[in-house]
Structure 1
Amino acid sequence: MSSDVDPEVPPSGTGCAECDAQGGWWVHLRRCAACGHIGCCDDSPMRHASAHWRSSRHPIIRSFEPGEDWFWDFRTDSYYDGPELAAPRSRPLDETVPGPRGRVPADWMAQLQARNG
């Protein structure tokens, strides 16, 4: 197994580590396959998963969404065939998308459209 993936390391939490610390919100969650860091996807306002890759140089992520088991390699911009990772394998099933419950602004769609517009 390469140092890019550690199947034994658990996720850092159930939500984006930086958004949780800053009181922010996310669209979807991604898990670093090397260290377990949970960050928000690039559709989210702060894009913490890709920021983690740039700062840590950990290139492989896995979706942290229920029912999704795909990996992504930032180096090649392509899917990656990775192993089963330590549990839990996704955010809590009862959490909202976007999330987390109680921190998502009512105009979240408009905010994303304005940012991507």
Structure 2
Amino acid sequence: MRVRRRTGSGGTWERATLTSARAPLPGTLDPEHVKAVRAALAARPGEAARRAELEWLPLVSVAIADDPGHVFCVFPGQGGPEVLPVWSRRRSLRAAAVAAGAFALVLLVAVLV
């Protein structure tokens, strides 16, 4: 979610508007996404019209061995490729564990006092 929020204004998002169930999907979509979109766009009985708007941002996630606390997301920006550092899952879990431990310690002190 954080990556989407931070790339919302700076990323060069690709867009497509589909107006029929048989409209061709963009060729730059990942095959797994194509399957999901096709399933969602299947014609429904009694359907009179449709309009679907797709937005996607090509994104590469890069992990560097010398910096295990971050994952770097690279995406096309307004002026060329942009890099967004994000905490790795491991670092996020450690921070959550430290916060939970501190909270438990505060509760223990509160109960004992």
- Higher strand proportion, which one? 2
- Higher helix proportion, which one? 2
- Asked whether the two chains share a fold, i.e. TM above 0.5, the reply is no
Output the TM-score relative to the length of structure 2: 0.22
Output the TM-score relative to the length of structure 1: 0.21
Question: Who wins on radius of gyration, i.e. which is larger?
Answer: 2
